[in-house]
Amino acid sequence: MEQTGAQIVWECLLREGVDTVFGYPGGAILPAYDAMTAYPIRHVLVRHEQSAAHMADGYARVSGRTGVVVATSGPGATNLVTGLATAMLDSTALVAITGQVGSGLLGTDAFQEVDITGITLPVTKHNYLVTRAEDIASALREAFAVAGSGRPGPVLVDITKDAQQGRAVLDWEGAQPTRHLRHLPPFPAATDLAEAAALINAAKRPVILAGHGIQLSGARAEVLALAERADIPFALTLLGLGAVPATHALSLGMMGMHGESWVNQAIQEADLLIALGMRFDDRVTGRLREYAPNAKKIHLDIDASEFNKNVAVDLPLGGDLLQVLQALLPGVAVGDRSAWLARIRTWRGDSAVRDIQNLPDDGHLYAAHVMHDLWRITKGEAVVVTDVGQHQMWEAQYYKHDGARSLITSGGAGTMGFALPAAIGAKIARPEAEVWVVAGDGGFQMTFAELMTAVQERVKVNIAVINNGFLGMVRQWQALFYEGRYAATPILSPDFVKLADAFGIPGRRVDRRPDLAAAVAAARAAEGTSLIEFRVEQEDSVYPMVAAGAALHDMIRRPSPSPLAETGSDPA
Ligand SMILES: Cc1cc2nc3c(=O)[nH]c(=O)nc-3n(C[C@H](O)[C@H](O)[C@H](O)COP(=O)(O)OP(=O)(O)OC[C@H]3O[C@@H](n4cnc5c(N)ncnc54)[C@H](O)[C@@H]3O)c2cc1C
Ligand SMILES: Cc1ncc(C[n+]2csc(CCOP(=O)(O)OP(=O)(O)O)c2C)c(N)n1
Ligand SMILES: [Mg+2]
């Protein structure tokens, strides 16, 4: 049976199991929109295409499915670029479908013509320009296969208007993907697995580096089996948080630039690092020359191009983490690393006296307190979607994520404006989950128009705007490295309570810690989306901090309240 290209688009999405798309219409994609209503697929109308990409990203990250975005040509398509880059850097499976001018007009600077496949080449795993109805199915099938297989990522399919209007017979079997699929690295040889097990069994001071790949692979049980059997502590990357439980006895906490001091110290003194689905980002390693100098390194990753990219490793093991760990585990011996664990605990004790949670209450509201209380009140069971900046780091430090896929955050790109739209996508994917947005006053102002999307789509997200009056993370760098010159970082905000009112949602303001619990309870109880503005200390900084380019052990610590604590063993 012949169908239009536009019908074939939706037919293919249905066959891929798609139930929701995030998008915004326009001329070049109008044939597809016109055909859409005949199909049982939910369309979420966004207020800006960038947000559509973030929504699809949030949807994908909490569910493990592939997110789908639809936009028109020209400005609609270019508005997607930041969202695609965000997904690319954090390995999220997305398929973006864009309309394009008619094939006869390509290259003529036609109305709303941009070369979107050219523009997005570096921020997609692959992309396609489709000019004939009969090529739509194979392009879309392949797009889903490429996006979701191996290391996930975004794929864009640009479809000309005449291809949407043309007719073809959908040949689903014939459209089976054959080209462009990435080849997985060869499964590790038995000798390599045996060598890895021997290194693990012999190590006295091993540390597991737990990354995002654990969430993507679903290898939580295998990672815990490795840690528990061999008695090895694990440190987490920002995107690894939740992959293994924060409250587990072997969990150390986050590593890296704003990681816990004892975690970074343990990495620097380790004799073996076992990197699981993490890519040694520069926020994680600090100065490479001085990174974990005494450690042998085993690296498990599905993308062989990550091996020896940033950190030279002794033993790379390619493949899906779950499968590689299953093959590795039988060789791993039961271990007792209590001496090493005790040593790490003493460093941890030293840090406790500097922890803002342990400082006397001075009546001020600190963002770190907000995160701690939110964690306590929600029993750590919420999905938290953060924006980018200081509040993001405090959330990572003080909201203890036990559940897989429970922290959604833009790590690699650090895209401000991510939180609200990604949270809407997350809630649509997991309607039963309690979803919180944690955003700064700066980032929230980038995409708050999506409040109206939440209202129109009847999506309930609870929003915490952490208002410190500054682009706080940049202000912190200015305070520490630019002699306190606050160039363009004080930022004014609208009255967030009135703003909420304009969107028809409840808004509250909290500037004292004792008022926090009631506001959070009201937000949780509300039927729909609601917003709380937390007016927090304006010039607090995130500690510890490893300055950009400094060695991982060279941490700037929160000034200690007691001279005794200064004698703690900061390694030089
Ligand atoms: C303001 C700010 C501060 C930051 N500070 C820190 C910090 O202090 N500490 C920190 O950790 N991060 C920090 N980050 C985040 C940092 O930039 C990186 O995004 C993060 O470290 C990346 O974590 P990852 O390597 O685990 O995840 P990704 O970058 O997502 O990499 C995942 C890896 O897993 C692999 N993989 C995927 N699927 C599989 C599979 N099935 N099997 C095996 N492997 C797989 C991929 O190939 C990839 O190598 C910060 C970000 C911002 C914006
Ligand atoms: C789109 C974008 N522009 C600029 C930056 C640089 N940047 C990183 S953090 C930050 C400040 C964020 O301020 P705010 O949202 O108020 O959060 P806070 O740090 O105060 O918690 C800026 C400007 C960015 N990450 N993303
Ligand atoms: Mg701020």
User: Which is nearest to 466 in space by CA: 419, 503, 409?
Assistant: 419
Predicted confidence band at 565 (pLDDT cuts at 50, 70, 90)? very low
**Structure tokens that stand for 522 in this block:** 């009201």
Model confidence over 353-387: pLDDT tens digits?
Answer: 778 887 778 889 999 999 999 999 999 999 999 99
Mutate to test the pocket of ligand 2, among 89, 238, 394, 416 (most ligand atoms within 8 A of CB): 416
Predicted confidence band at 179 (pLDDT cuts at 50, 70, 90)? confident
Average pLDDT over residues 524-552: 96
* Ligand 1 site, residue 256, Cβ cutoff 6 A: yes
To the nearest whole number, what is the mean pLDDT of the chain? 95
Model confidence over 92-122: pLDDT tens digits?
Answer: 999 999 999 999 999 999 999 999 999 999 9
Closest residue by CA, ligand 2 atom 13: 471
In angstroms, the CA 530 to CA 505 distance is: 5
Distance 438 CA to ligand 2 centre (A): 13
Distance 374 CA to ligand 2 centre (A): 22
Whether this prediction's pTM lies above 0.95 is answered by yes
Model confidence over 140-166: pLDDT tens digits?
Answer: 999 999 999 999 999 999 999 999 999
Query: Alpha-carbon dihedral of residues 408, 412, 413, 415, nearest 10 degrees?
Result: 20
In angstroms, the CA 306 to CA 316 distance is: 9
Predicted confidence band at 338 (pLDDT cuts at 50, 70, 90)? very high
In angstroms, the CA 386 to CA 14 distance is: 31
User: Is the pLDDT reported for residue 567 higher than 80?
Assistant: no
Model confidence over 190-200: pLDDT tens digits?
Answer: 999 999 999 99
Average pLDDT over residues 450-463: 98
Nearest atom of ligand 2 to the alpha carbon of 443: 15
Distance 89 CA to ligand 1 centre (A): 9
- In which order are the strands placed within the sheet that holds 272-276? 251-254, 234-236, 206-210, 272-276, 296-301, 315-318
User: Is the pLDDT reported for residue 47 higher than 50?
Assistant: yes
Q: Ligand 2 — pocket residues by CB below 6 A?
A: 387-391, 414-416, 440-443, 466, 468, 470-474
Name the burial class of residue 430, with classes exposed (0-12), middle (13-18) and buried (19+) by CB atoms within 10 angstroms of its CB: middle
Residue 68 · residue 98 · CB < 8 Å: no
In angstroms, the CA 156 to CA 127 distance is: 5
**Confidence at residue 562, expressed as pLDDT on a 0 to 100 scale:** 47
**Confidence at residue 355, expressed as pLDDT on a 0 to 100 scale:** 83
pLDDT cut 70: percent of the chain above it: 98
Q: Residue 345 corresponds to which amino acid?
A: R
Model confidence over 10-35: pLDDT tens digits?
Answer: 999 999 999 999 999 999 999 999 99
User: Is the pLDDT reported for residue 67 higher than 80?
Assistant: yes
- H-helix segments, 258-360: 261-269, 282-285, 321-328, 338-352
User: Which is nearest to 476 in space by CA: 155, 184, 257?
Assistant: 257
**Confidence at residue 359, expressed as pLDDT on a 0 to 100 scale:** 77
User: Which is nearest to 52 in space by CA: 28, 32, 72?
Assistant: 72
pLDDT cut 90: percent of the chain above it: 93
Q: Which segment of 48-62, 74-88, 351-365 scores lowest on mean pLDDT? A: 351-365
Mutate to test the pocket of ligand 2, among 388, 394, 489 (most ligand atoms within 8 A of CB): 388
**Confidence at residue 563, expressed as pLDDT on a 0 to 100 scale:** 41
User: Which is nearest to 154 in space by CA: 238, 80, 215?
Assistant: 80
Residue 93 · residue 148 · CB < 8 Å: yes
Closest residue by CA, ligand 2 atom 5: 416
**Confidence at residue 561, expressed as pLDDT on a 0 to 100 scale:** 60
Active site residues: 49, 111-112, 161, 473
- H-helix segments, 149-211: 161-165, 190-202
In angstroms, the CA 459 to CA 306 distance is: 38
Residue 365 · residue 511 · CB < 8 Å: yes
Cβ contacts of 186 within 8 Å, gap of 6 or more: 318, 319
* Ligand 1 site, residue 281, Cβ cutoff 6 A: yes
Distance 116 CA to ligand 2 centre (A): 27
